[in-house]
Amino acid sequence: GESVGLHLPTLSVQEGDNSIINCAYSNSASDYFIWYKQESGKGPQFIIDIRSNMDKRQGQRVTVLLNKTVKHLSLQIAATQPGDSAVYFCAALNYGGSQGNLIFGKGTKLSVKP
Amino acid sequence: DSGVTQTPKHLITATGQRVTLRCSPRSGDLSVYWYQQSLDQGLQFLIQYYNGEERAKGNILERFSAQQFPDLHSELNLSSLELGDSALYFCASSGLASHEQYFGPGTRLTVT
């Protein structure tokens, strides 16, 4: 079956530095890839998504890069702030196969040092 | 605030019991999804409803069932509870774009 995985379970960065969180996926038929942020005691919060026919998408302080050749995507956070500390999940969605449910990776815990 | 509400926030019950978790989607969203989050399995899709009808099923146990009512709120029923059912249960909702799912704050279920 389809799987989505993250390369590193934890990441520690200095405040003000850029963060890069990586994710690999197995199903090349995935239509969308989505990044979620989950703070302690809260539900996952939508950050940004990218359609499979795109290579890059930018949001506010975040950029998602998609490399379909190696089935890899990354989330880049610019000028990381203490409020960015959370667990980050990548998820994949295949409209054709799954009718819209998300397949989540295990998550990377981002810690921001002041 | 995502606009998705879930009750109760916490639930503690004993093995063998039955509980009902409730979810109200964002205004205008027709799709509701249920996910289970445990430490060892991560976020797992359970079931999706669209406008009152079951749309997709994931790794949902036969002891679990769900429904979506005419006012679009949804309930997840968990019966014959086991210790391993202890987890966070999230509801999410979306409009037509299933890749834009908004999650509620979750219900933490503890089975003792």
- Summarize pLDDT for A20-56 with one digit per residue, the tens: 999 998 888 888 999 999 999 899 999 999 999 999 9
Which of the residues B43, B90, B100 would you substitute to probe the A interface, choosing the one with the greatest number of A C-beta atoms within 10 Å? B43
Residues of chain A with C-beta less than 8 angstroms from the C-beta of B31 = 100
Residue in chain A closest to B55 (alpha carbons) equals: A99
What is the CA A54 to chain-centroid distance, rounded?
Answer: 15
- Asked if B101 and A31 come within 8 Å (Cβ–Cβ), the reply is no
Residues of chain B with C-beta less than 8 angstroms from the C-beta of A106 = 42
pLDDT class of B1 with cuts at 50, 70, 90:
confident
Residue A71 pLDDT: 92
User: What's the mean pLDDT in B33-45?
Assistant: 88
Residue B49 has pLDDT above 60, yes or no: yes
Please give the mean pLDDT across all residues of chain A.
89
Residue B77 has pLDDT above 80, yes or no: yes
**Percent of chain A scored above 90 by pLDDT?**
70
Residue B59 pLDDT: 82
- Asked if A100 and B98 come within 8 Å (Cβ–Cβ), the reply is yes
- Which residue's structure tokens are 């445990």? B38
A32 touching B, CB under 8 A?
yes
Residue A99 pLDDT: 55
- Least confident piece of the model among A76-85, B6-15, B73-82, B97-106: B97-106
Residues of chain B with C-beta less than 8 angstroms from the C-beta of A45 = 2, 103
The beta-carbon neighbor of A99 closest among B35, B48, B92 is: B48
What long-range pairs does A41-47 form, CB within 8 A, spacing at least 24? A42/B105, A42/B106, A43/B2, A43/B4, A43/B90, A43/B92, A43/B103, A43/B104, A43/B105, A43/B106, A44/A89, A44/B43, A44/B90, A44/B92, A44/B103, A45/B2, A45/B103, A46/B100, A46/B101, A46/B102, A46/B103, A47/A75, A47/A88
